[in-house]
Structure 1
Amino acid sequence: METERPSKSWSIHTRSEIISKYQVMERIGSGAYADVYRGRRLSDDVTVALKEIHDYQSAFREIEALQMLQGSPNVIVLHEYFWREDEDAVLVLEYLTTDLTTVISDAAKEGLSLPVGEMKRWMIQILCGLDACHRNMIIHRDLKPSNLLISDRGILKLADFGQARILTEDGFDAFEENPPPCEHDGSNHESLLHQPEAFPHTDSTSQFGCGNQEHGGSHEEYFSVLDELKTKRSTDDIDKDTNIPDGNTSCLATCTTSDIDNDPMRTSFSYEALEGEDKEHGCLTSCVGTRWFRAPELLYGSTNYGVEIDLWSLGCIFAELLTLNPLFPGTADIDQLSRIINVLGNLDERAWPGCSKLPDYGIISFSKVENPAGVEACLPNRSPDEVSLVKKLVCYDPARRATTMELLHDKYFNEEPLPVPVSELRVPLTKKNEDEDSVGGWHDYNETGSDSDFDDFGPMNITRTGTGFSIQFP
C-alpha cells in the first residue's frame, strides 16, 4: 500500500488563504525541495502556476529576486505569494506553456536547424532577461534551456530563481542611467506585490524590441563594479548552500561522498561548503547550476565569482541552439572538465591569469592536450559570426566573457537574416514529458547524470602533497 505523504507536503490543498483564491489542479513538476501545480485564479479564470517550496532559503531567494525584477518583460511574473510561520512558501507565478528545451528537441526531431531569424529572436530574449538580472546584480546561477519558459505568444522568460544570489543591496543599479532592454508582449502583468520596478521602461523600441538606449558602460567598467561589490559583500549576506539541487549532480569534480572523514580529498572546498561557508569573507558556494552549463571556475571550486558564471551558461545555451545538441554533455564533473579542456585546451596561467589560485586547481589535473578541438569544431556548418558569438562567452577567463549589453549590440543581430518578430516564432504547443524527480522550470534536465564516479575514467594517479592529495586523469 502506498505510503501517505506527510500532511505538510499537501498544505497547499488545505490552506484557506490559498484555496479561497485559487483552484489547485494537477501537479506539473516535483522535486526534493519544491512542487509545482497548475492552478486557476477564481476571480478571473486565469491559469497560474502554484510553486510550493519546502526549503526556506530557496523560497527567500526566489521571492527576493523576482520582487526586484518585477516589470522585466523577459522574467517570469510573480503575482503574489503566501508564506507564514511553520508553512511552506507558495509562489503564484504566471503559467507558461512550454520552454526552450522543447523548442530545441522538436527541431532535432524534425532533423532541421532552427531558422536563423528565429534563433536570433530567442537569443535576444534570453539576453534581455539576463541583462535585467545582471543590472540588478542578480546572479541566476542555474541558466539552462529548461529554465527558459515560453508563453503561447512566443515571449521567453527566465524562471526558477531558487539558486539566485543578489550581490548588493536592494535597488542598487550599476547603470541607473540606462534602462535594460526588454521584449514586450503587451499583456497586463498584474502583480499583487506592489514592488517598484527596478528600472523605468521606455515606449520607444528598437529593432530588438528593446528600450531605446545607448551602450550601458564599457566591459571594464562593468566588471569593475562587480569586483567592488564582491569585495564589499557583508557577513549578513552569506550563502547557506541550501539550493534546489539538479537531480544527482555533484558539487565539484572532487566527488561528494558520505564517507567524508576517510576521503583523501578532505581538504577540498567541496567539503568546507557542506559544513558551512566562510562567514568572515562572505564566500559563495561552488555547488550551483546544472553540470552541462556550469562554468569551469565552479568545477574547480571557486567561491569568488559573479555574473560571469551566467555568461558561460549563456554560451552553452547559444551553442545548443545552433547545433541542437548540448555543447559539453558531461556524465560526471571530471568528465565535464575533460570535455571542456579537450575543446578549449589546457587550463593554465596563459589561458587564464590567476587560475592556479582556484581551490581545486592543484588537486585535479589532466594530461596535456596537444591539439584542442576548438569551439569551431563543436559548431560545424555555422557561420564565423555565430562561432564568434559563442567564443565570446565560452572562454576560460571570466573577465573576457562578453556582457549581455555587449552581445545585444553585436553585429550578428543587425545582419541578414534579421531576428523575426516575436509573433512569427514557432511555439511548441506542449512541453516534453516532465521529469517527476525534478522541478526546474517546470521540469529539469535528466541527462546530466549522477555524481562524479572516478571508476568511469580508468587509471588515475593519486599523489600525496603537503596539503592533501593530487589526482591526475589521463
Structure 2
Amino acid sequence: MDPPSTKSWSIHTRKEITNKYEIFNRIGAGAYSDVYKARRRSDSVTVALKEVHDYQSAFREIEALQTLQHCPNVVVLHEYFWREDEDAVLVLEYLPTDLGCVIREAKKWENGLSLGEIKRWMVQILCGVDACHRNSIVHRDLKPSNLLISDDGVLKLADFGQARILLAPGFVANDNQQPYVQSSPYQPTMAGPSHFKHISDASSDGGLFMEDPVSLVQAARVGESEEHRFRSFDDTDKDSNIQDGDTSCLATGTMSNVEEDLLPGTYSYDVDDGEHDNFPPLTSCVGTRWYRAPELLYGSTSYGPEIDLWSLGCIFAELLRLEPLFPGNADIDQLGRILNVLGNLTEEVWPGCADLPDYKIISFGKVEKPIGLEACLPNRSTDEILLIKKLLCFDPAGRATAMELLHDKYLNEDPLPVPPSELRIPSKHSSDQDEDSLDELSGCRDPNSDSDFDDFGPTKVSTTEHGFSIQFS
C-alpha cells in the first residue's frame, strides 16, 4: 500500500497507533496540535495522544522530554510515532487538570488557597524548572495552563514545543550524559547511565514508531558555576508563539517554518569547536504575553534560562492573588503594565538595557510613582513579596535561580508545604474558556499592523539616529 500523498491530519487513520491505543475524544487543541484521550490496549492505562503538526515543535518536545525523563515534575513521554509522511504523535501520561484550573476554582473557595497549598505548588514548579535548567533546557512558555496536575496532586511541567536546549561554552555533546533524577524536593542528584530499548520497526502500512525512545541528541549538562553562560547550538529557531489559548496538554503545540528536507532522524545540534560568539540568535517572540520577560518584549535574541524565572514570578504572584499580575492585551500594553508596577527601565536598574534591540525605538513617559508589587499583593506577607521580587527584577542576572528559591526562607518555615495528597484538586479539567482569551494571548504582533497601538492614547513618533522612536504617554 502506497503511503498517502498528503498528511492525514488524524491519528484515527494510522494503524500502528490504533492497534495499540483505543482513541476517545479530543481533549485539547492548539493551532498546530491536537490532543486525544486514549486507552492503551495492553494494560488499559489511560494516556494522552498529542498529534503535533509541526516538525520543529515535535523535535523539541521529544528531545526535552527524553532528557528530563527521570524528573518527577515533568510529564512522562511513554513513546512516540513518526514517519515522513505523517505528523509526530507523542504518547504522554494523562493528567486531568492544570494549575490554571486550580486557580480558577480557588476563587470560589471561601479562603482561597492556604499557605501550605501555595508553597507545595511552588516547590513542585521549582523542582521541575530546576531540572530543566540543570539540563540546559529553557522551557520558554511557562504559564499555569502548562503546569499539569495528576489526581494525587503531583504537578508536572508540560508543553515543551517551544523549549530550547542550550549549551555552555566549553561543553560538548556527551553520549554518556546521565539523566537528572530528583531524589527529594530539595536535593537534586544524578542517576546512573540510562538503558533504553530502541525499537524501529515498519508496520504493515509503512509506519515507523519508537518505543522506550532513546534521545535523538544528547546535550551537555551545564555545571553549577555561575560563569557558565548558556548559548544556543540550534540554528533553526523561528518565531513560534501562537494563539494557544488555555488548552494545555491537554497540551498545545507551536508552529514555525522548517526546511523541507528536515525529516525525522536528521535533526541535530552541531557543536561548534570555534568561536562561541557566532551562535545564531534565538527569537524574542516566544512564550505567552502575560508571562513574557521584559527582555523578550524589547526584542532580545541573546537570553537564557532567566526568562523562565520571570515567568515563575508571574505565576507565583498569580497563586498569591488568584489573578494574573500583568494581563496585557498587546505587547506595548504588557510593557506599560510592567513599568507602571516596577518603575522605569534604566541603565541604573539594568546595566546594558539600552542595548536591547527595541529599547531606543519604543519609550514611555517617566513613571513618577510606580505602583509597586506591595500594592499588587495586598495582605501578603513581607516574605511572600520578597520572594516575588527575587524573580520579577528587570536585570536577568539579578533573578534568583530555582534552586536558590527552593532554599528560600519562605518555603522552609511554618506553615510548611502540605503533602501533595492534601492538595485540593478540581474534579476534572475545566472546559470553560479562561479569561486569557485567544486574542489576549496571541503571540507576535504583525510588523505590518498597528493593532498594538490601539487604545493607548497619543503617541509621538520622531526620527533618531537609530531610525525612529515611538513614545507612549
TM-score class, shorter-chain normalisation, is 0.7 to 0.9
Cα pair distance change 1:341/1:37, threshold 3 Å: same
Q: Is the 8 A contact 1:129 1:182 kept in 2?
A: no
> 1:445 & 1:44 partners in 2: Cα distance?
38
> 2:98 & 2:71 partners in 1: Cα distance?
18
Q: Is the 8 A contact 1:67 1:193 kept in 2?
A: no
Q: Is the 8 A contact 2:461 2:470 kept in 1?
A: yes
> 1:329 & 1:444 partners in 2: Cα distance?
8
TM-score by length of 1: 0.79
Listed one character per residue, the Cα deviations across residues 46-100 of structure 1 (whole Å, up to 9, x for unaligned) are 1100000000000000001001001110000000000011110000000001100
2:292 partner letter: R
> 1:124 & 1:391 partners in 2: Cα distance?
17
- Is 1:245 the equivalent of 2:264? no
| Cα displacement (A) at 1:468 | 1.7
| Cα displacement (A) at 1:458 | 1.1
Cα pair distance change 1:293/1:422, threshold 3 Å: same
1:120 partner letter: K
| Cα displacement (A) at 1:463 | 0.6
Question: What residue number does 1:345 align with?
Answer: 343
Listed one character per residue, the Cα deviations across residues 170-212 of structure 1 (whole Å, up to 9, x for unaligned) are 56999x899646569xxxxx9942548x99xxxxxxxxxxxxx
> 1:366 & 1:173 partners in 2: Cα distance?
50
Residues paired across the two proteins, number? 401
Listed one character per residue, the Cα deviations across residues 154-174 of structure 1 (whole Å, up to 9, x for unaligned) are 000000000000002656999
- Is 1:193 the equivalent of 2:190? no
2:82 partner letter: W
Question: What residue number does 1:22 align with?
Answer: 21
| Cα displacement (A) at 1:377 | 1.1
| Cα displacement (A) at 1:420 | 0.6
Q: Is the 8 A contact 1:150 1:157 kept in 2?
A: yes
Question: What residue number does 1:367 align with?
Answer: 365
**What does residue range 44-123 of structure 1 map to in structure 2 within 5 Å?**
44-123=43-122
- Is 1:140 the equivalent of 2:139? yes
User: Matched residue of 1:457: which SS?
Assistant: coil
2:414 partner letter: E
- Is 1:310 the equivalent of 2:329? no
> 1:281 & 1:109 partners in 2: Cα distance?
49
User: Matched residue of 1:91: which SS?
Assistant: strand
> 1:356 & 1:10 partners in 2: Cα distance?
46
> 2:344 & 2:184 partners in 1: Cα distance?
38
Question: What residue number does 1:266 align with?
Answer: none
2:440 is aligned, of 420, 424, 448, to: 448
| Cα displacement (A) at 1:246 | 3.3
Deviating runs (4+, > 2 A) in structure 1?
A: 6-11, 109-113, 168-174, 176-184, 190-196, 246-249, 443-453
| Cα displacement (A) at 1:466 | 2.8
2:376 is aligned, of 375, 378, 383, to: 378
Cα pair distance change 1:50/1:170, threshold 3 Å: farther
TM-score by length of 2: 0.79
> 1:146 & 1:244 partners in 2: Cα distance?
15
- Is 1:391 the equivalent of 2:389? yes
User: Matched residue of 2:313: which SS?
Assistant: helix
- Is 1:153 the equivalent of 2:152? yes
> 1:425 & 1:39 partners in 2: Cα distance?
26
| Cα displacement (A) at 1:340 | 0.3
Larger % of strand: which?
Answer: 2
Structure 1: which 5+ residue stretches go unaligned? 1-5, 185-189, 200-215, 250-278, 437-442
Q: Is the 8 A contact 1:239 1:285 kept in 2?
A: no
> 2:105 & 2:86 partners in 1: Cα distance?
39
Q: Is the 8 A contact 1:311 1:401 kept in 2?
A: yes
**What does residue range 405-420 of structure 1 map to in structure 2 within 5 Å?**
405-420=403-418
What value does the CA root-mean-square deviation take over the aligned residues?
2.9
> 1:178 & 1:433 partners in 2: Cα distance?
34
